[in-house]
Every structure is written in structure tokens, then in C-alpha cells.
Amino acid sequence: MPLEGIDVSHNNGAIDWSRVNAAGISFAFIKATEGESWEDPKWQTNLAGCQSTGIMPGLYHFYHHDVDPVAQATHFLKTIGEHASSGVPIAIDVEAPDDGAGSLTYGPDEVVHRVTAFVNAVTQAVGRSPLIYTYPAAWKELTGDSDSFAATCPLWIASYEAAPSIPNGWTGATIWQYTDKGNVDGIETIVDRDRFDGDTTALQSISTTPK
């Protein structure tokens, strides 16, 4: 049976994680950083809330196209510290400029090159590739529907259809964000809802360093 999850940031306010757990949420991706200097003021509180209630946490970075990718990776890794290598899934959120991801003054090949630099910096530091969060239209616009990451980075796709639409190269989504208008007891705002098609052991495997 698929596991239900959410992804949250400071925009979701104070969260009662005990109630979230009781509502059947098994995992939660938490926004930690953005760009090369911004830190979500609630990421540590949200992480502790997950850990205290048995919800598996993940941490993600919101990527900016107009900021050096290695500087962004460095900021992300420095901020989350030991959590980067402690079995917590990590992800890079790749969205379009209109989503607040900074101005874009170059083409798809350079987007791929820069995202690769971020991914490589994280992979070298922690020994495993981050998930890539995106949505089909943005991925096509930004990268030309590149398949460059399909062999190394698990896909976390936002696709609000009956079944997720999968970008080129990937055979399926590891995490599916199936709505951005969800409701969960313990969270006063609407919240993104996610789904993982597997059990807890399989979910934990995406945070394990390959042998």
C-alpha cells in the first residue's frame, strides 16, 4: 500500500506533528534552504517534530538559476550539517523563474550543466545523489526535457493528474506530489500531498549511500 507524505515550509505555520502522524502521514519533505544564503526559519523545528513522532523526514533546497550552483550546494550542506549523511533523504527543487527561482538568461544546456554542478557537489559530499523535484512543464522548458539525471537522481514529480506525467529518461516517479491543495489534521494551511509507492523499508533505501 502506498505511503502518504507531505512537503512543508515556514509558509505552513506551526505544525502539530503528533496530529499529522495520527492522520496517517508517513513522511515529510521539509524546506531547509534557498539560493546561497536563505534558511527556512522552521526547518529545524519541523525536522524535530517529524523525528519525535516517527514520521520519516526529508530535507530540500529550493534552487535559484541566477546563483552559482556550487555555492548553493555548499549553503545547503552547511545548513543541514550532519543530517546530510545521517539517512535523511535530500532533494533539489528545480522550478521555473516565475515560481520564484530567479531570472534565467541562458539556455537548456547551461541549465543542465549548472544543475549537474549542484548534484555533483552534493553527491561528492554525502555519497548519494539527491532527488530532483520538478514538474513536467518546467523541466521541459528549463532543460529541453533532458534525461541527464535519470540514471542517478530519483525523481520527485509534481503532477496533478490521475497518474503522474514522467519527464524524459525516468521510468517512473519515486515520490509523486499529487496535489498542492491538500488538507491534513495538524496543519492549518493547505499543504502539498505526496505519495510513495512502497513500504517504509523501500522509502528508507533512497537515503542509503550506495555500496
Q: pLDDT tens digit string along 128-172?
A: 999 999 999 999 999 999 999 999 999 999 999 999 999 999 999
Strand segments, DSSP code E, in 69-130 are 90-93
Could you read off the pLDDT of 40-61 as tens digits, one per residue?
A: 999 999 999 999 999 999 999 9
- Of the candidates 183, 123, 185, 175, the one whose C-alpha atom is nearest the C-alpha of residue 154 is 175
**pLDDT at residue 211, as a whole number:** 42
pLDDT of residue 87: 75
Grade residue 205 by pLDDT with cuts at 50, 70 and 90. Answer: confident
First to last CA, the chain: 28
pLDDT tier, 204 (very low <50, low <70, confident <90, very high otherwise): confident
- CA-closest candidate to residue 114, choices 74, 79, 72, 154: 72
**In the predicted model, is pLDDT for residue 210 greater than 70?**
no
**Could you read off the pLDDT of 89-105 as tens digits, one per residue?**
999 999 999 999 999 99
Residue 9 has pLDDT above 50, yes or no: yes
The secondary structure of residue 42, as a DSSP letter, is T
Average pLDDT over residues 20-47: 98
Asked if pLDDT for residue 202 goes beyond 50, the answer is yes
Residues of the chain with pLDDT > 90, as a percent, come to: 89
CA distance 131 to 6: 15
Q: What is the pTM of this model?
A: 0.96
For residue 210, give the C-alpha cell.
550506495
Q: Is residue 1 pLDDT above 90, yes or no? A: no
Q: Which of 39, 35, 133, 36 is nearest to 89 (CA)?
A: 133
Please state, rounded to an integer, the average pLDDT across all residues of the chain. Answer: 95
Q: Check: CATH 3.20.20.80 for 3-205? A: yes
